[in-house]
Structure 1
């Protein structure tokens, strides 16, 4: 089984993070599963919907490339999941997303789920995700720390900065706990990986969910379910698959720059 893991960071800027991500994925994968990490350049360095959609287009193109290169599954290793439904509509291999998989699995661990993201500009986007996944009654709160994606990468390789991120995360968790939250999700692959060194991570008894292994295991299961039982996504509604020529046109003609159209 070969899985394409799509990070929204590239190897050049990822540094220690990229190394630790590959190590973590190799430790998580079952025997016989190969996970290949791919990045996006320019990487997702600023928390804003424009950056999300720019990265989403490349991610969708990469999902098509992964299928055509013979990969068995594609994992969107980015919590915001931008372009997820479009990627699922474009390919026949399973497409698993970090944000969606984390939220769905958290529903098996508790009744009230709280997300702590790295930047408050992500909060509206997360609420859109929660509504899209039909989890408004389960994911009750979204709080934020105050980092840009590029800044929090600096916590890898620095125990002091990692501890500072952990302190700020716990600080944001306390009001949620007071409101009855019973599961915590770090809102991003970067903080998830940062906290992955803490076995059975809990704050005041609440599990802190690392969604990276959840997404990998979901991808492995989706491949096996498709192979053995033919189970795959619906081809109506959001995941209606376009003709190949429409997909080829999407790949061949990137969005035009407004200045070039004048």
Structure 2
């Protein structure tokens, strides 16, 4: 039997259905029969008239909107999923989820950073908008990887999730804007480039953007699902989440 991964987006997927379909198609092509990826999103109306990129920059709104995701991880374990993937660079409640469940909890941010460390020396991250870049900088610091991250920047001008999904069928301008920002980072010494936002990353992966001027462009979904596969195998071999200190269950 293939493994089952619960992939949790923080987007209202009913508003960007093409993103959900894109992740599912990508997972099918990348994982084959190894694992099924079931994509979940936030309830319709979660963000009102705002985009997630705009709303989640507010700490109170972030807490109120995203704290229920911890219970989603609990539900995934209860339903027999083998791993829970946080499909967001806002990386909500990672520590809390790892203390709540025994199945592996994987973050796009952490998986991309750790994969980047194996593929090059200095990592450059490009977000879709300044708010997301700010949250991503906090995640880099949380993982104590500042020495390996050259910078976290954003597209100029920034684009929210709905602008990105509108560009999905004609992505050439988005790709050029991303390449322009990437080349600045590469000129400063970046060897690995991370698209640090899910909708943008899905488009770039679908378009096959794997290198820019010799620098590797990380497919963040492939990195996360690969880490999930490895952690599931480690757990089956008796090496699961530590219960000493950071992820202690008390």
Query: What is the SS of the residue equivalent to 2:147?
Result: coil
Specify which of 145, 165, 186 is matched with residue 153 of structure 1: 165
Alignment map for 1:103-142 (pairs within 5 Å) = 103-142=113-152
1:132 is displaced (CA, Å) by 1.2
Preserved CA contact (<8 Å) 1:200 1:207: no
Instruction: Name the CA distance, whole Å, in 2 between partners of 1:103 and 1:206.
Output: 15
Say yes or no: does 1:67 pair with 2:77.
yes
Preserved CA contact (<8 Å) 2:86 2:108: yes
1:55 is displaced (CA, Å) by 4.1
Instruction: Name the CA distance, whole Å, in 1 between partners of 2:58 and 2:227.
Output: 26
1:200 is displaced (CA, Å) by 5.8
Query: What is the SS of the residue equivalent to 2:38?
Result: strand
- After TM superposition, which residue ranges in structure 1, 4 or more long, deviate above 4 angstroms? none
Say yes or no: does 1:166 pair with 2:148.
no
Query: What is the SS of the residue equivalent to 2:144?
Result: coil
1:7 is displaced (CA, Å) by 1.3
Preserved CA contact (<8 Å) 1:109 1:183: yes
CA shift in 2, pair 1:240/1:49, >3 Å: farther
Normalised TM-score (structure 2): 0.89
**Counterpart position of 1:239:** 247
Query: What is the SS of the residue equivalent to 2:239?
Result: coil
Normalised TM-score (structure 1): 0.85
Alignment map for 1:138-217 (pairs within 5 Å) = 138-145=148-155, 146-156=158-168, 158-159=169-170, 162-199=171-208, 201-217=210-226
Preserved CA contact (<8 Å) 2:205 2:219: yes
Specify which of 232, 241, 250 is matched with residue 223 of structure 1: 232
**Counterpart position of 2:28:** 26
Query: What is the SS of the residue equivalent to 1:169?
Result: helix
Instruction: Name the CA distance, whole Å, in 2 between partners of 1:139 and 1:4.
Output: 28
**Counterpart position of 1:248:** none
Is there any run of 5+ residues in structure 1 with no aligned partner, and where?
243-262
1:15 is displaced (CA, Å) by 2.2
Cα deviation code 1:20-64 (max 9, x no counterpart): 111111212242422211111226633314454344312211001
1:231 is displaced (CA, Å) by 0.7
CA shift in 2, pair 1:61/1:211, >3 Å: same
Specify which of 9, 17, 20 is matched with residue 19 of structure 2: 17
**Counterpart position of 1:246:** none
CA shift in 2, pair 1:96/1:163, >3 Å: same
Q: CA RMSD in A?
A: 1.7
Instruction: Name the CA distance, whole Å, in 2 between partners of 1:168 and 1:111.
Output: 24
* Structure exhibiting the larger radius of gyration computed from Cα positions: 1
Q: For structure 1, which segment, 50-59 or 91-100, has the greater mean C-alpha deviation from structure 2 after superposition?
A: 50-59
Q: For structure 1, which segment, 63-72 or 168-177, has the greater mean C-alpha deviation from structure 2 after superposition?
A: 168-177
